[in-house]
Amino acid sequence: MSISKDMKTEYQKQLHLAIQAGSADKGIELARNALDKGLVPVEFFEEIIQPVLEDLGDRFSRLEAFLPELMRGGMVVKAVQEKVLEPIIHEQSDEMASRGKIIIGTCQGDIHDIGKNMVALMLQVNGFSVVDLGTSVSSRDFIEAAKRENADIIAMSTLITPSMPFMKDVIARLDSLGLRDRFKIITGGAPVTREWANEIGADGFGEDAVEAVEACRQLMGV
Amino acid sequence: METRLRSPSGKEVVISGDMPTVMIGERINPSGGRRKKLTEALANGNMEPIRQEAARQAAAGASIIDVNVQAASVRDEAATLVQAIHAVAEEVDLPISIDTSDWDVLEIALKACPGRPLVNSVNGTEEAMNRVLPLIAEHQAVVISLPIDDEGIQQDPKRRLAVAEKILRRAESFDIPPEDIIMDGLTMTVGADMKAAVATIETINLIRENLDLNMTLGVSNVSFGLPLRETINTGFLYMAIAAGVRCPIVDPIKMRKVVLTADLLTGRDPFADRFTSYYREIRESGEL
C-alpha cells in the first residue's frame, strides 16, 4: 500500500460525501487525485470504493440508507470506473491479463438488476472480463452467449423464487448439449442458498458481491 | 368490459368499471422466504396455514384468492399446487388465481381447479404466448398478461401498449375474447427509477384509452428499498385505481380500507354503503 491509513480514511470519507451529493464529478476528481498519489486502480477499488459500498449496503440492510442512495452510489462508482479506472486498466491490459471471462445475467422472468450490476462491477474491477446480458435472460441466451464469448464462467442471479428453476434449467441444458464441463456455473440472489446451489449442481455460490468475486477467483484458480 | 370468474360452487365474480374494485388476495405466496411458516408448511404438505390465509383474506374482502406455492424447498410444485387449490376451494367459495411460472405445472393445475379460475400469468414472449394461450382457450380461463416481450421490459408506456396489443391479437387468434385478458400495468421500483410509478400509471391510461381491457396491478414492488412502504403502496394504489385498475393484487388485510376509499371517491360506492358498512364492522369488532 502506497498511501497512509489516514489518507485512505480521508478518501473513503470524500467518496462517501461525493455519493451523498450524487456528484460523479467529485468522485472522478477524487479518484484521479488518489491515483496521482500512487494508488493503483485495483487498490483504489478494494481500499476505497469497496469499504464505502459495503458500509452503504450495511446501512441499507439496517434501514438507515435507502434504495435511491444505493442507486446514487452505483452511479458515482460507475462514473469513476468508466472515466478513471477502466482506461488505465485497459492501458495496462498487456501486463495484466484477464482473470477469466464471465457471462452474467438475471434469470428468465426476473427483471431485478441492482445486485447483479453490483456483482458485475466488482468482478470487472477485480480483473475479470464481464459480459452482462441484462435481465430476464433465457436459458438459451445464457448458453449461446457463453459459447459465442468462449466464457469461463456463467453467473446467474435472481431475486424471486419463480425464476430459480431456470438456474437448474441452464445446467440441465448444458448437460444435454454435452457442454457442462466447458463452463463453470455460479449462482446468487436473495432467495438462492448455498444448499440450493449445491443441489442443482452449480460450481459456486456468492451470498453477496464480495463472495461472488471470491467464488470466481477460486474457480479460475487466480 | 366485463370479466367473469366463477367460484368452485359456480358463484360469479364480475370485474368491471361499474362494479366495486375486486381484490386479488396475494398472501398465499412463499416468495422470497419472507413467509417462513407458509414455506415450511408447503414443503411438508401441511395445508392448514393455506386454509387460514384463504379464510382471513376472504374475511378481509378478497374476491379472488391467488395461490402460489413456488419455493426452493417445495419439491413437487404441481402436486403441492393442486393440493393447495383444493384446500382453498374447500375453505372459501371464491375464484382461484393459479400463480405459477412453470407451464407444465399450470396445465396440471388448470385440470384440477374448480370453477372458472384466473391464471397468473402470461406475457408477450413467443414461448409464453404459444404455451399458455392454448391452455387458457381449452379451459376457458381468464389470464393476467404482463406487457413484457422477447425484448424484455419496456420503460416507455407506448411500447408497453404495443406489447399489450400484441398479446390481445394473439389471444384472439386462439378465440380468447378480450374480456378474458386482464392486463397488468407493470409496477417497477420507484427507488431505482424516479419515473417508474409515472410510467406505470401512463401505461394504465394508454391501455384504458386504446384497448379498454380490465387491468390489474401488484403495487408493493413500487416501494422496495424505501421506508414507510405501506404509505407509498397506499398512495400508489389510489393512483392506480383512479387510473382504471379494476382488480389489484394486494394484501387485503392491509389494503381493504384503501380500496373502499378509492371506490367511494371514484363514484363506485352508491350512498357510501360499502364504506359505511366497513366502518360499522370495524367499530363493532373493536378495531377502531
pTM value surpassing 0.90 = no
pLDDT value at position A96?
A: 53
> For A97-101, what is the mean pLDDT?
82
Average pLDDT score over chain B: 94
How far, in Å, CA of A217 to CA of B11, rounded? Answer: 60
**pLDDT surpasses 90 at A60:** no
Dihedral, CA atoms, B103, B23, B117, A139, nearest 10 degrees? 0
- One of 1.25.40.10, 3.20.20.70, 2.60.40.10, 3.40.50.280 is the CATH number of A101-220, namely 3.40.50.280
- The C-alpha atoms of residue B117 and residue B39 are separated, in whole angstroms, by 23
Which of 42-81 (A) contact B at CB < 8 A?
60, 63, 66-68, 70-71
Instruction: Tell me which of 1.20.20.10, 3.40.50.980, 3.20.20.20, 1.10.8.50 is the CATH number of domain B3-253.
Output: 3.20.20.20
Residues of B in contact with A164 (CB under 8 A): 70, 72
Check CB contact under 8 Å for A164 and B152.
no
Q: What is the mean pLDDT of residues A29-36?
A: 94
* Cβ-proximal residues to B267 (8 Å cutoff; 6+ apart), any chain: none
- How far A186 CA sits from the closest chain B CA (Å)? 17
Preferred mutation among B29, B121, B122, B189 to probe A, highest tally of A CBs within 10 A: B189
Q: Measured between alpha carbons, how far is B259 from B247 in angstroms, rounded to an integer?
A: 10
What confidence tier does B273 reach under pLDDT thresholds 50, 70, 90?
A: very high
What is the per-residue pLDDT across B89-132, written as a single tens digit (0 to 9) for each?
Answer: 999 999 999 999 899 999 999 999 999 999 999 999 999 999 99
| Least reliable range by pLDDT among A12-26, B22-36, B55-69, B205-219 | B22-36
Residue B182, helix vs strand vs coil = strand
Q: Pick the residue from chain B with its C-alpha nearest to A68.
A: B191
Higher-pLDDT residue of A113 and B136 is B136
Residues of B within 8 A of A71 (CB-CB) are 191-192
Contact A136 B153 (CB under 8 A): yes
> How distant is the Cα of B59 from the closest Cα of chain A, in angstroms?
28
Tens digits of residue pLDDT in B208-263:
999 999 999 999 889 988 999 999 999 999 999 999 999 999 999 999 999 999 99
The single-letter code of the amino acid at A36 is D
pLDDT, tens only, B208-217: 999 999 999 9
Q: What per-residue confidence (pLDDT) applies to A2?
A: 62
pLDDT of residue A29: 96
- More confident call, B8 vs A81: B8
List, in sequence order, every residue forming a beta bridge with B66; answer none if it has no partner: B97
Kindly indicate the confidence band of residue B32, based on its pLDDT and cuts at 50, 70 and 90.
low
Q: pLDDT band at residue A85, thresholds of 50, 70 and 90? A: confident
Q: Is the per-residue pLDDT at A82 higher than 90?
A: no
> Tell me, what's the pLDDT at A97?
63
- pLDDT tens for residues A168-198? 999 999 999 999 999 999 999 988 989 889 9
- Minimum distance, in Å, between the CA of residue B23 and any CA atom of chain A: 22
Scan for cell 404455451, then name that residue: B131
Contact A139, A108 (CB under 8 A): yes
What pLDDT score does A63 carry? 86
Question: Which residues belong to CATH 3.40.50.280 in chain A?
Answer: 101-220
Q: CA B195 from chain center: how many Å? A: 23
Are residues B25 and B118 in contact, defined by beta-carbon separation less than 8 angstroms? Answer: no
Q: Would you call A68 and B189 a contact, using CB atoms and an 8 Å cutoff?
A: no
Q: Which of residues 149-208 of A touch B (CB under 8 A)?
A: 159-165, 190-193, 196
Please tell me the distance from the alpha carbon of residue B109 to that of residue B98, in angstroms, as a whole number. 7
Q: Taking the domains of chain B in order of start, what are their residue ranges?
A: 3-253
Report the C-alpha gap between B73 and B217 in whole angstroms: 28
Q: What percent of chain B has pLDDT over 70?
A: 99
CB B122 within 8 A of CB B184: no
Residues of B with CB under 8 A from a CB of A: 30-33, 68, 70-72, 100-102, 127, 148, 152-153, 188-189, 191-192, 194, 224-227
Is the predicted pLDDT of residue B158 greater than 60, yes or no?
A: yes
Listed residue (B154, B150, B99, B105) closest to B129, CA to CA: B150
Distance between A35 CA and the closest CA of chain B, angstroms: 31
Query: B66 vs A38, which has greater pLDDT?
Result: B66
Backbone angles phi, psi at B28, to 5 degrees: -85, 85
For strands B64-67 and B96-99, give the pairing. Answer: parallel
Which stretch, A83-97, A108-122, A198-212, B249-263, has highest mean pLDDT? B249-263
Q: Which residues make up the CATH 1.10.1240.10 domain(s) of chain A?
A: 5-94
Place of cell 399450470: B106
**Superfamily designation of domain A5-94:** Methionine synthase domain (1.10.1240.10)
